[in-house]
Amino acid sequence: MLSKEYKTAPSKLPRMGDKTLRLYDTMSRQVKPVKLLEPGHLRFYSCGPTVYSYAHIGNFRTFLTADLIVRTAEAIGWRVSYVSNITDVGHLTEDDVADAAGEDKMERALRSKEGENFHNVWELAEYYESALQEDWQRLNLREPMVRPKATQHMREQILATEELIGKKSAYETPTGVYFDVESFPGYGKLSGNTQEGLKSSVRDVVADDNKRRQADFALWKKDEKHLMQWFSPYGWGFPGWHLECSVMAMKYLGETIDLHGGGEDLIFPHHECEIAQSETLSGKPFCDHWVHTRFLLVNGEKMSKRAGNFYTVRDLVGRGADPLAIRYALISGVYTKNLNFTDQSLSDATSNVERFRRADAVVDAALDSAGEGPDVFGSTLEDLYEEALEAMLNDLNTSVALAKALEGARTILREEGTISKAAAQSAKSFLDRVNALLGIVRHDVALPVTEAAPAKPAIDGARIQARIEERAAAKKAKDFALADAIRRELDAAGIELRDTPEGTVWVVKTASLS
Ligand code: AMP
Ligand code: ZN
C-alpha cells in the first residue's frame, strides 16, 4: 500500500496502570473500551473542516470531542498520534444527499459576496485555514500531530484510485471514476444503509447514467472547468471527498487505526465510503472504533444562516464572550446527545470559568506568599480529580467531570486567605491536572495579549466585593432602592450580580446570542 507509518517521539507521560477509555462505538452500537493495536499508543483520526468559510460553533463541538479524547487518553499515560485534516477541495454542496452532486463548496464560496475579498480559490482556502487555526487556539484545542490537506495529497489519491481500478473495485466512465459498492460486501456496516436500501433511499436523487448503480460513489470527477484541477490518468479533474481521509489516515497512522471521529452527519456517506476504500486498498480492517458527535443546536434549533442563529467563535468573541467560556459551554453536555447552546448556557459557563480563574489566582498568590501549615485539602482535591477523570473515561461524561472540577474550585475558594504553602501546592496540582484534562482553567498556549482575557471590568475585584456587601446590608435593612442602585452601578461597569444559595456572586457580563 501507499502508506508508511508516521513516527512520533516516545512518550514521557506516566503510565497509569490498567485504566482504559470507554467510548460509544457507532459500528457495534455500544459503549466499549478503545482497544490499542500497539500498547499505550492511540492512533486517532478525526475529520476536520472544509475551509470555505469560518468554522461555526457546531463544528467546534465536534472538534472539541476529539480534543477531549486526546486529553483523556494522555491523562492515563497513552501516547496519542492525532491527525485532523483540512478539506480544501472536493466537498460538494450535495454530497450528503446524492453522490458527487452539486458544486464544490470552495468554488461556490469564491463566487459569494465574501468571495470578493479573494483573488482566487487558493487564497480563500488559505485565509479560512488560518482563521480556523486562530479559533482552534482561542478555544484551547490541542494541535494535531499533523493537519494534512487534501490538495497536498493528490499523488496519494490518484495512486489509490489506480489501485482500486486495478483491484476491479472501481471503474472509469465519461464523467469520472466510481467505487463499485457491490465489490465490497461490508458496504453499509457502519450506517446500516445497505446496498438494497440505498437503491430507494437517500442517494437516488441524482441519476448518473454512467454509473453501474446509484450507490457507487466518486473517487475522481473529470472536470476541465473546475477551479482546482489536477492531471490524472483520467484527464483533468479533482478527487471525490471521501478519498482524502482514507489516504491521509493510512499515510500518517497506518493501515489499521484505533479510533476515527467526526460529526453525526459523517456516518453516511463519508465514513461508510472511507471504510470501503481503505479496506479494499489494504485488505485489512480500517478502524476498530467509530465515535460521532451529535449536533449542536442554538436556542433549540438547527444552526443555519437563514434562521439567523449561525455563530462562529469570532462572532461571539467579538461581542465580548470569553473564549474559555465558549469552550466550557460547548463541552458542558455529553457528546452522544444533542446540546443546546443558549444565552443561559454561555452565561453559566462564564461564571464557572471565572471561578476557575479566581481559584487559580488565589492559589498563585498563596504559592508566592503563604506560610507553613497543614494541607487543609487533605485528599479532597485528589479524590475530585480522580472522579472527574473516571467520568471522562466513561464515555466522556463531561457534565459529571465539569461538576467535580467545579466542586474542587469552590473548595479552594472557600479557603481563600487561609491557604498554607502545602495546601497551595496540592491546589495547584489539582488545577493543573483539571486544566490538562478539560482545558477550562487557562490556555495551554498563551493567546496574543489583546485576546488573552475577556474585557476587564472597570472596577477591581475588592471594590466589587465591598459593593456586594453594602448591597447585602441594604437589603437586610430593607433599603431596596440602595440595593438596586448598587446592582445598576455594577451592571454599568460590566459586572453582573447573581444571587445564589451560596450568596451573591459576580461575573463579567458577556455576549448575548440575540
Ligand atoms: P465541515 O466543515 O462541513 O466538513 O464540518 C466539519 C465537522 O463539523 C464535521 O465533523 C461535521 O460533522 C461537524 N458538524 C457540522 N455541523 C455540526 C453541528 N451543528 N454540531 C456538531 N458538529 C457539526
Ligand atoms: Zn473525513
- Per residue in 338-360, pLDDT tens? 999 999 999 999 999 999 999 99
> How is the chain split into domains, by residue range?
4-11+21-293, 298-438, 461-508
Nearest alpha carbon, ligand 1 atom 18: 58
Query: What single letter denotes the amino acid at residue 103?
Result: E
Q: Which CATH architecture has domain 4-11+21-293?
A: 3-Layer(aba) Sandwich (3.40)
Q: Which three cell numbers stand for residue 121?
A: 480559490
Ligand nearest to the CA of 132: 1
Cα angle 504-347-463, degrees, rounded to a multiple of 5: 40
pLDDT at position 116 is: 84
Residue 89 CA to residue 425 CA, distance in Å, equals 50
CA of 73 to the centre of ligand 1 (A): 23
**Ligand 1: nearest atom to the Cα of 91:** 4
Residue 192 CA to residue 292 CA, distance in Å, equals 15
Q: What is the dihedral of CA 53, 58, 60, 61, to 10 degrees?
A: -170
Nearest alpha carbon, ligand 1 atom 19: 58
Ligand nearest to the CA of 265: 1
Ligand nearest to the CA of 249: 2
Residue 8 CA to residue 6 CA, distance in Å, equals 7
Q: Which three cell numbers stand for residue 340?
A: 443546546
**What is the DSSP track for 459-488?**
S-HHHHHHHHHHHHHHHHTT-HHHHHHHHH
| pTM of the predicted model as reported, rounded to 2 decimal places | 0.87
Maximum distance among all Cα pairs of the chain, rounded to whole angstroms: 87
- pLDDT (tens place) for every residue of the chain, 514 residues total: 444 444 444 444 445 568 999 999 999 999 999 999 999 999 999 999 999 999 999 999 999 999 999 999 999 999 999 999 999 987 888 777 667 778 888 888 888 888 888 888 889 999 999 999 999 999 999 999 999 999 999 999 999 999 999 999 999 999 999 999 999 999 999 999 866 666 544 454 455 788 998 889 999 999 888 888 999 999 999 999 999 999 999 999 999 999 999 999 999 999 999 999 999 999 999 999 999 999 999 999 988 777 778 899 999 999 999 999 999 999 999 999 999 999 999 999 999 999 999 999 999 999 998 889 999 999 999 999 999 999 999 999 999 999 999 999 999 999 999 999 999 999 999 999 999 999 999 999 988 766 655 555 556 777 788 888 899 999 999 999 999 999 988 888 778 888 876 678 777 666 667 6
Query: What single letter denotes the amino acid at residue 353?
Result: V
Q: Which three cell numbers stand for residue 12?
A: 514521557
Query: What single letter denotes the amino acid at residue 50?
Result: T
Residue 295 CA to residue 482 CA, distance in Å, equals 46
CA of 192 to the centre of ligand 1 (A): 21
Cell 465489490 identifies what position?
183
**What is the DSSP track for 284-325?**
S--BS-EEEEPPEEETTEE--TTTT---BHHHHHHTT--HHH
CA of 423 to the centre of ligand 2 (A): 47
Q: Which of 46, 241, 265, 309 to mutate to test the pocket of ligand 1 (most atoms within 8 A of CB)?
A: 265
Cα angle 58-64-69, degrees, rounded to a multiple of 5: 145
Distances 69 to 23, 59, 77, 435 between C-alpha atoms, Å? 9, 16, 13, 14
Residue 123 CA to residue 131 CA, distance in Å, equals 12
Which region holds residue 310: left if phi is over 0, alpha if psi is between -120 and 50, else beta?
A: beta
Q: Which of 44, 46, 52, 59 to mutate to test the pocket of ligand 1 (most atoms within 8 A of CB)?
A: 59
Cis peptide bond N-terminal to 269, omega within 30: yes
Query: What single letter denotes the amino acid at residue 471?
Result: R
The helix-helix angle for 154-166 and 272-282 (nearest 10°) equals 70
Residue 112 CA to residue 123 CA, distance in Å, equals 14
**Residues facing residue 69 across a β-bridge:** none
**Ligand 1: nearest atom to the Cα of 264:** 12
**Ligand 1: nearest atom to the Cα of 296:** 20
Nearest alpha carbon, ligand 1 atom 12: 263
pLDDT at position 447 is: 83
Whether the CB of 263 sits within 6 Å of ligand 1: yes
pLDDT at position 502 is: 67
Q: E strands along 139-193, which residues?
A: 170-172, 176-179
Which 3-state string (H, E, C) describes 366-397? Answer: HHHHCCCCCCCCCCHHHHHHHHHHHHHHECCC
pLDDT at position 95 is: 76
Residue 489 CA to residue 512 CA, distance in Å, equals 20
Q: Which residues surround ligand 2, an ion (CB under 5 A)?
A: 47, 245
CB neighbours of residue 362 within 10 Å: 20
Percentage helix, strand, coil for the chain under 3-state DSSP, each rounded to 5: 45, 15, 40
CA of 250 to the centre of ligand 2 (A): 12
Residue 354 CA to residue 222 CA, distance in Å, equals 54
Whether the CB of 47 sits within 6 Å of ligand 1: yes
Q: Which three cell numbers stand for residue 53?
A: 468559510
pLDDT at position 241 is: 92
Residue 73 CA to residue 35 CA, distance in Å, equals 12
Whether the CB of 296 sits within 6 Å of ligand 1: yes
Residue 289 CA to residue 257 CA, distance in Å, equals 9
CA of 51 to the centre of ligand 2 (A): 13
pLDDT at position 55 is: 93
Residue 43 is classified by DSSP as: E
pLDDT at position 13 is: 45
Whether the CB of 86 sits within 6 Å of ligand 1: no
Cell 461575573 identifies what position?
507
Spelled out in words, what is the top-level CATH class assigned to the domain 298-438? mainly alpha
CB neighbours of residue 174 within 10 Å: 8
Side by side, the strands of the sheet bearing 79-84 are 79-84, 41-46, 259-263, 290-293
pLDDT at position 196 is: 62
Whether the CB of 269 sits within 6 Å of ligand 1: no
Which region holds residue 118: left if phi is over 0, alpha if psi is between -120 and 50, else beta?
A: beta
Q: Which of 62, 128, 191, 264 to mutate to test the pocket of ligand 1 (most atoms within 8 A of CB)?
A: 62
**Residues facing residue 500 across a β-bridge:** 503
pLDDT at position 10 is: 45
For 211, the 3-state DSSP assignment is: coil
What values do phi and psi take at 416, rounded to 5? -50, 130
Residue 355 CA to residue 66 CA, distance in Å, equals 25
Whether the CB of 61 sits within 6 Å of ligand 1: yes
